[in-house]
Amino acid sequence: MSSPRQRLGENVSITRSNIWHSDGTVVLQANTTHQTNLLSKAAPSSSFLDTVMDVQYLLTVLYDPTFLVQTALPLPAIGALIRMGRKYDFANIFKSAVRRLTLEYPATLEDYDSTLALDAYTHVPTRIIPYRGMIFDIISLARENNILSVLPSAYYHSIVNGLDDVLDGILRDDGTLAFLAPVDQHRCIRGREKLLNVQLQPGYSIGWYRSWKPGHDCTGGQCTTLIDARLRDHLNRPLMRALAKFHLNSSLNNNWCATCKQNIHKLNVAARKKTWDELPVFFDLPPWNELTNDL
């Protein structure tokens, strides 16, 4: 049952925010929180329909420009600045907040690779303070605010290790549950199925398991055996390898001869580019050149 509405004229407890100045001329009120103080009790008051947190983050930036130059910001701050920056036409604040999302979840393969850890699988955020479940909150924030170029790589990160989190949600550090909206769940589920099916096709990331054989220039007798073994392993335990890298210097690839290793690397580079170019479509999104960010 919803709580009864406040009667007209009924006293409401007003909370002062931590942004409170004694030399202002206007009181800004979001919900029941005053955002600045006045010397005069008769000073005018302007009410916001925005949340208290959104107003506080906007005022923090306006009063403290150094806030935006921090290396990493909390995601709630970024979301607030996107919403408030767009609504009140603070263009630089809005673009700065959007930029943090697009740096973490970029629209080019080169930039995507730069966000990965040394193992080339794990995404390590540098512009947003990380927490459990953050990826789902970023997806929701991006979709709700039409920052669409963020979605393909964010969806991909969400499905690399399976669908349990996509279906059940992720418990945040504060005990609340981060979960995807149905539209995002459906895109992730369908996208993962499509990528698992296509990644083993010729021209895609591990299609060479089936389509490539060592040539006459192979200098190692074990390369054909290695291909057969990798194909069996994948068929027995399919893993998401659609954007996986073949690392020339990885100890996992030491058993390939030098010639085959170079040939496989070339195939992998071309396949990853092909997969990346098509990535949005796998998630039922428009192609990259149509994924605008409504800036």
User: What is the tens place of the pLDDT at every residue in 268-295?
Assistant: 999 999 999 999 999 999 999 999 887 6
3-state helix, strand, coil in the chain (%, to 5): 50, 5, 45
Domain end (from 30, 49, 68): 49
Do residues 87 and 147 both lie within one domain? Answer: yes
Residues 24-44 have a mean pLDDT of 49
Do residues 273 and 167 both lie within one domain? Answer: no
Categorise residue 120: left if φ over 0, alpha if ψ from -120 to 50, beta otherwise.
Answer: left
Q: How confident is the model at residue 254 (pLDDT cuts 50, 70, 90)?
A: confident
Domain end (from 32, 49, 66): 49
Residues 217-234 have a mean pLDDT of 89
Do residues 233 and 138 both lie within one domain? Answer: no
User: Which are the contacts of 212, defined by CB distance < 8 A and separation ≥ 6?
Assistant: 227, 263, 264, 267
Do residues 170 and 78 both lie within one domain? Answer: yes
Q: Considering only residues 47 and 198, tell me which one the structure prediction assigns the higher pLDDT.
A: 198
Do residues 76 and 190 both lie within one domain? Answer: yes
User: Alpha-carbon distance 288 to 111, whole Å?
Assistant: 14
Do residues 223 and 138 both lie within one domain? Answer: no
**Strand-strand pairing, 15-16 and 33-34:** parallel
How do residues 162-172 score in pLDDT, each as one tens digit? 999 999 999 99
pLDDT at 22: 53
pLDDT at 38: 42
Residue ranges making up the domain that contains 145: 50-197
Q: How confident is the model at residue 23 (pLDDT cuts 50, 70, 90)?
A: low
Residues 34-62 have a mean pLDDT of 70
Any domain includes 286 = no
Q: Give yes or no for residue 112 having a pLDDT over 60.
A: yes
Domain end (from 163, 197, 231): 197
Any domain includes 225 = yes
How do residues 80-94 score in pLDDT, each as one tens digit? 999 999 999 999 999
Any domain includes 71 = yes
How do residues 175-225 score in pLDDT, each as one tens digit? 999 999 999 999 999 999 999 999 999 999 999 888 888 888 898 788 989
Average pLDDT over the chain reads 86
pLDDT at 102: 97
Do residues 265 and 155 both lie within one domain? Answer: no
Residues 127-153 have a mean pLDDT of 97
By CB neighbour count within 10 A (0-12 exposed, 13-18 middle, 19+ buried), where does 235 fall?
exposed
Do residues 189 and 277 both lie within one domain? Answer: no
pLDDT at 294: 76
Residues 38-53 have a mean pLDDT of 61
| Tokens read off for 233 | 């392993």
Return the percentage of the chain with pLDDT > 90, whole number: 64
The count of structural domains within the chain is 3
Q: Give yes or no for residue 19 having a pLDDT over 70.
A: no
Do residues 86 and 190 both lie within one domain? Answer: yes
Any domain includes 292 = no
Beta bridge partners of 230: none
Do residues 94 and 142 both lie within one domain? Answer: yes
Q: Considering only residues 17 and 150, tell me which one the structure prediction assigns the higher pLDDT.
A: 150
Q: Give yes or no for residue 65 having a pLDDT over 50.
A: yes
